[in-house]
Amino acid sequence: GNSVTQMEGPVTLSEEAFLTINCTYTATGYPSLFWYVQYPGEGLQLLLKATKADDKGSNKGFEATYRKETTSFHLEKGSVQVSDSAVYFCALRGFSGSARQLTFGSGTQLTVLP
Amino acid sequence: EPEVTQTPSHQVTQMGQEVILRCVPISNHLYFYWYRQILGQKVEFLVSFYNNEISEKSEIFDDQFSVERPDGSNFTLKIRSTKLEDSAMYFCASSGASDTDTQYFGPGTRLTVL
pLDDT tens, residue by residue, B56-81: 999 999 999 999 998 878 999 999 99
Chain A contact probe: residue of B21, B31, B58, B103 with most A CBs at under 10 A:
B103
3-state secondary structure of B51: coil
For the residues A17-45, what does the mean pLDDT come to?
91
Residue-wise pLDDT for A45-88, tens only, equals 999 999 999 999 999 999 999 999 999 999 999 999 999 999 99
Q: Where are the alpha helices (DSSP H) in chain A?
A: none
Range of weakest confidence among A16-20, A27-31, B4-8, B106-110:
A27-31
Report whether A76 contacts A19 (CB < 8 A).
yes
- Nearest CA to A78 among A62, A55, A59, A54? A62
Chain B contact probe: residue of A101, A106, A109 with most B CBs at under 10 A:
A101
B107 and A102 within 8 Å at the Cβ level: the answer is no
End-to-end CA, chain B: 37
Report whether B89 contacts B106 (CB < 8 A).
no
Report whether B35 contacts A102 (CB < 8 A).
yes
State the Rg of chain B over Cα: 13
Interface of B to A at Cβ within 8 Å reads 4, 6, 31, 33, 35, 41-45, 48, 55-56, 58, 91, 93, 95, 100-108
B58 and A101 within 8 Å at the Cβ level: the answer is yes
- Nearest CA to A30 among A8, A53, A10, A47? A53
pLDDT at residue A99 above 80? no
Q: Which residues of A touch B90 (CB under 8 A)?
A: none
Q: Which residues pair with A13 in a beta bridge?
A: A112
Cα A73 to chain centroid, rounded: 7
Residue B38 pLDDT: 92
Residue-wise pLDDT for A1-16, tens only, equals 889 999 888 999 999 9
Q: Which residues of B touch A45 (CB under 8 A)?
A: 105
Residue A1 pLDDT: 81
The Cα–Cα gap between A17 and B4 comes to: 33
Cα dist. B64→A75, A89, B19, B67 in Å? 38, 28, 11, 10
Q: Which residues of A touch B56 (CB under 8 A)?
A: 98-101
